[in-house]
A and B are shown apart, each in its own frame.
Chain A
Amino acid sequence: MLALTILSVAIVLVIGIGLYLKSEPVLSNSSWWELLTSSKWKPLKGLFGFFPFIMGTLWVTGIAIIIALPLCLLTSFYITEYAPGRIKRILVPFVNLLSGIPPVIFGVWGVLFIIPLIQDHIAPHFVEFSTGYSVLAGGIVLAVMIFPLIVSIVCEVLNTIPQELKNASLALGATKWETIRKVSLRKAKPGIIAATVLAISRAFGETIAVLMVCGNNADVPHSVFDAGYPLPALIANNYGEMLSIPMYDSALMFAALLLFIIILLFNIISRVILARLERKLAL
């Protein structure tokens, strides 16, 4: 049992080392800095600049968080503070169901619903022409995907805030909203930050849904209606040819390593915050 436990935790290390060893060839060819900041993506010439893909990932993730965070915070406040028990019992299962829907279904939905929506109704107001396949589409689909994650964590955190604290504020004549803004929000801040960081890392690594709606164009996006090419999509899209071009597999494994490191860091940060919160409450 001890062996199994150690083994399964050690997977983190093994993945990191494995990916690093595999990306060694591309790293010995050019430095980390070059790989991260160059925009030249020409696998046939051995030029691997990840900048467009990193920017693609950042755009998509950024849009997703900007859309999802306010909506999810308001929803969590409604569920924990306002909603009567009956409505709560109906609402919470739907949030859970949403979290069970597989990524590929989100992708299909994005293609069928979000893309036409952007192409016909949103983009024409701002730009002359858009196919709909854009970082905005990716951001919207990702936002919906991270709804359940943020709502469930923030609700849990909000539920731990002592009722006495809120009562004190209400007794001083504050309205419910003022209590939320000045008491709950302040008290729940670390939890909300942790939930956001976790949501960011989730959005960072999401592959297939983003791949289906982002347009996959290896240029740095300049507006929300431009196509983007996030890192996970790059890996997934090119696995077929990666063994036929020299260094290509190494470059893709470097992309995986990059994702792995960023997400690992984000996850550790948020999990440590959450674990601390939990322990503080247990005492």
Chain B
Amino acid sequence: MIRRKLEENFFRILMVMATIVVAGSFFLIVGTIFYKGVPFMSLDMITKIPGGGFYIGKEGGVLNAIVGSLYVAGGATILGLLISIPVAIYINMYLGSRNFIANGLRVAFDVLFGIPSIVYGAFGFLIMVYFGIRASLLGGIVAVTLLVIPILVRTLDEVIRTVPKELRDASLALGATRWEMSKVILRQIRPGIFTAILLSFGRAIGDVASVLFTAGFSDNIPTSLHQPAATLPLAIFFQLGSPVEEVQGRAYASALILTIVVLIITVLSSILAKRFSKNNIG
């Protein structure tokens, strides 16, 4: 009896410790980034593009990378939405939620979701070589779009499935076509679409491997789709590899910027998701 009690307590303590390690790793990471990044943070970092001699420690900021990242992530999310909303509707409205093919498609998108970004990057690079496009904003957006489509489709799919069946039946019963019914559903899931957008944007803005080959790097803010664009994660990666201390410091500061942006996006999306599940009828 005592042995069993000891065993119970031993494992309970072990579980608490494991939980502390897992949840604590988040604080450890964010803490490290803040601790190292804050001393190098300045207004110049987010308002200026790299000046002459930026990479040997002279003045400038990473505005080029911030704007580049916003362009790439924004462009990819918009393009991804245009593709994934029809797909999610097709899976749910035309095939039905429990259909065999629909379930197969869901598994397929989950599998696509699991494919690493470096493979999308390499594939994007192949497409670009094939069409003769040089590393540019356009190439980056295309590669990242491939990356976010599975996220968008699966999130939208989950959201659409929460819409009560009665609502669909009611609109069908009033003589609406499936397409008209889909429009009703789309109105209903509007907050869910925002959640999907935030999730995809968060993934897109933080990813390196897919833009490494495709978007290139530039010290200027791109003014057309055919110019190369810097991205924030890539800027962090390059600066960290520099032997100059000042430049390394900027990498920490850039990491801080990216972390804050991503945390805000994640928190916003989880708040939205919670709201959504509360306001939903049924």
B51 at the interface (CB under 8 A from A): no
Interface presence of B28 (CB below 8 A): yes
Are A109 and B32 neighbours in the complex by a CB distance under 8 Å?
yes
8 Å CB contact of B213 from A103, A109, A239, A272: A239
Which among A100, A175, A206 has the highest number of chain B CB atoms within 10 Å?
A100
> What chain B residues lie within 8 Å of A72 (beta carbons)?
18, 22
B270 at the interface (CB under 8 A from A): yes
Question: Using a CB-CB cutoff of 8 Å, which residues 90-107 of chain B contact chain A?
Answer: 90-91, 94, 103, 105-107
Contact A94 B23 (CB under 8 A): yes
Interface of B is mostly: helix
Q: Is A1 touching B116 in the complex (CB atoms < 8 A)? A: no
**What 1/0 flags go to B78-100 for Cβ under 8 Å of A?**
00000110110111001000000
Q: Check if A32 is an interface residue, CB within 8 A of chain B.
A: no
B15 touches A82 (CB 8 A): yes
- Contact in complex: B8, A177 (CB < 8 Å): yes
- Checking B121, B212, B236 against A108 with a beta-carbon cut-off of 8 angstroms, the contacting residue is B236
State A12–B146 Cα separation when bound (angstroms): 10
- In the complex, A253 Cα to B205 Cα: how many Å? 25
Q: Mark A79-94, 1 if CB is under 8 A from B, else 0.
A: 1001100000001011
B29 interfacial by beta-carbon distance below 8 Å: yes
Contacting pair B237 A100 (CB below 8 A)? no
Binds A, one of B41-49, B53-61, B186-194, B252-260: B252-260
Least distance between A254 CB and chain B CB atoms (Å):
10
Q: Is B4 an interface residue (CB 8 A)?
A: yes
B25 and A236 contact, CB distance less than 8 A: no
List residues of chain B with CB within 8 A of the CB of A15: 115, 119-120, 123
Quick one: which of A54-71 are within 8 Å of B by CB? 70-71
Q: List 7 A-B contacts (CB under 8 A).
A: A74-B19, A104-B255, A176-B8, A178-B4, A202-B116, A205-B118, A253-B126
8 additional A-B residue pairs with CB within 8 Å, beyond A107-B237, A205-B117? A15-B123, A19-B123, A100-B262, A101-B29, A232-B209, A239-B125, A263-B116, A271-B107
- Chain B interfacial positions (CB closer than 8 Å to A): 4-5, 7-8, 11-12, 14-19, 21-23, 25-26, 28-30, 32-33, 36, 83-84, 86-87, 89-91, 94, 103, 105-112, 114-123, 125-127, 146, 149, 153, 202, 205-209, 212-213, 233, 236-237, 240, 251-252, 255, 258-259, 262-263, 265-267, 270
Q: Give 7 nearest A-B pairs by CB, closest first.
A: A102-B206, A205-B116, A74-B18, A100-B266, A267-B114, A78-B15, A1-B90
